[in-house]
Structure 1
């Protein structure tokens, strides 16, 4: 009996010692995790907590901690991008409002301090003042339209639309402007009607923005094109030109609100940086997608994709 009791005591001591070592190892691993987490938080790095362990619960905890770190790092990156985007937006908005408002103030002062102006001169100044005022109102309306689209306050009524007819109508509306710019027009619209679910006003605005954008920035290529084609289960509308195009560095940014290329600040172009943002939001609001590819002086193509209806 004494031998059996001693054996039991030895086994129990062994078990206790092993548990003690396991607890010490677990505590050591937890302390390492704590210290690493503290370093990551304090130094705001994009590191992960890496630890070699055979302890299953700690392995699972590490997986969840690293998932949380990845999520927090993504949130921080998104916040940083949003903050930078907001800074640029306010800077651009300030520029785009300050310039025409300064011109408007100049016209007003001219009218106030030039009593000897002829009726004809006054009429010219008033016409210019009217045009500049309308441009400011248009810019503000675009800005508020974009804010409403991004906040989800705009509900589009959706119906069955013939994309062929809407594209024909929009090209015809710009045809005289295209001719006045000396542009060769290449339109490929199939005889067979293709139908999508969309909002006609929104689709008109999308096409208008893209066509006017091609005219404004692509006229030096001498060609304007619009093509409707099938792409898998979708209908693709390509609006293209052969102008100076968009450098690769800008391709990922052109749909950002108030993002403009350097030459868009040239009064000759008068770009606000809002048209393409609105175009993207409207396209997505109709469950569509928009993409861009550009090879300068070869072809710049904006493609709108919509789900094709088969009924």
Structure 2
């Protein structure tokens, strides 16, 4: 009996010693984790916390901590990109507004000085053109701001895409002729339907077609193709122009990105049209993507959920 009691006491002592050792080791590891987190926070480092341990609960805690660190790093990176984009946007806004305003000021100053009165009408027409440019630019900024803030109400209903595509491409008939472009239209007679806001979809088409004519006219051809599969209706607007380089494809939908290296600077726009197009497509629960092979086919393809029946 005494022997059994002695063995039991030894075992209990051993267990206590092991638990004490485990607690000491855990406390040491937790102290290291705390210290490491302070280092990461202070240095704004992207590293994670690594501790080699057989303690399953501690491993779970470390996994949760590292998930939070990764999420924090992603949020920080997104914030930094957004901040850089906003700074660039403000700089570009200043430039885009300053240029036409300077031209307007010059024309008005000349007219008011009474110089060259025979050309006053021509100068006033140029003033009007530049004024319209500014108004359109400001309207685009407001539209984009409303889209990104979720303040623009869209009414989704059943829309016949075929007629919308026909009407929109026909509205560019005179411009296409003036630019001496060939046009290839593939719109099936069978009606395709999507759930969309008609005005928003019309604006998407307007932006893409005008973009193809402006930037792709050196390829002498633009096109519009409508097709579908079981799930989606796809609208492809394409041209055979210079195309868009690989490095620009990732940024083409960013605010005020004007494709300086891949498009003719003579025809650069505000850099807002494709951003608005993407935002509108997303608001219609659709997707837009770009494919580009220089002087062969540069396509913007909008995919919207198909409605049957």
Q: What TM-score range do you get, normalising by the shorter chain?
A: over 0.9
Q: Does 1:77 align with 2:77?
A: yes
Shift of 1:161: 1.1
Give, in whole Å, the separation in 2 of the partners of 1:285 and 1:13: 68
Q: Which residue of 1 aligns with 2:223?
A: 225
Shift of 1:2: 4.3
CA distances 1:79-131 after superposition (whole Å, capped 9, x unpaired): 01101111111111111111111111111211222x2532x411111111111
Aligned partner of residue 254 in structure 1, secondary structure: coil
Alignment of 1:238-277 (within 5 A): 238-262=236-260, 268-277=266-275
CA distances 1:198-254 after superposition (whole Å, capped 9, x unpaired): 111111111110000001100000110100011341010000001001111010111
Uncovered stretches (5+) of structure 2, i.e. residues with no partner: none
The 4+ residue runs of structure 1 with deviation greater than 4 A are 263-267
* 8 Å contact from structure 1 (residues 226, 238) kept in 2: yes
Give, in whole Å, the separation in 1 of the partners of 2:132 and 2:228: 40
* 8 Å contact from structure 1 (residues 160, 196) kept in 2: yes
* 8 Å contact from structure 1 (residues 264, 270) kept in 2: no
Q: Which residue of 2 aligns with 1:106?
A: 106
* 8 Å contact from structure 1 (residues 243, 299) kept in 2: yes
Give, in whole Å, the separation in 1 of the partners of 2:59 and 2:265: 61
Q: Does 1:90 align with 2:90?
A: yes
From 292, 295, 301, give the equivalent of 1:294.
292
Give, in whole Å, the separation in 2 of the partners of 1:202 and 1:116: 46
From 181, 196, 199, give the equivalent of 1:198.
196
Q: How many residues align?
A: 309
**Root mean square deviation of aligned Cα:** 1.6
Give, in whole Å, the separation in 2 of the partners of 1:101 and 1:307: 43
TM-score (norm 1): 0.95
- Alignment CA distance shift 1:95-1:8 (3 Å): same
Q: Which residue of 2 aligns with 1:285?
A: 283
CA distances 1:47-94 after superposition (whole Å, capped 9, x unpaired): 211221111210110111011011101110110110111111111111
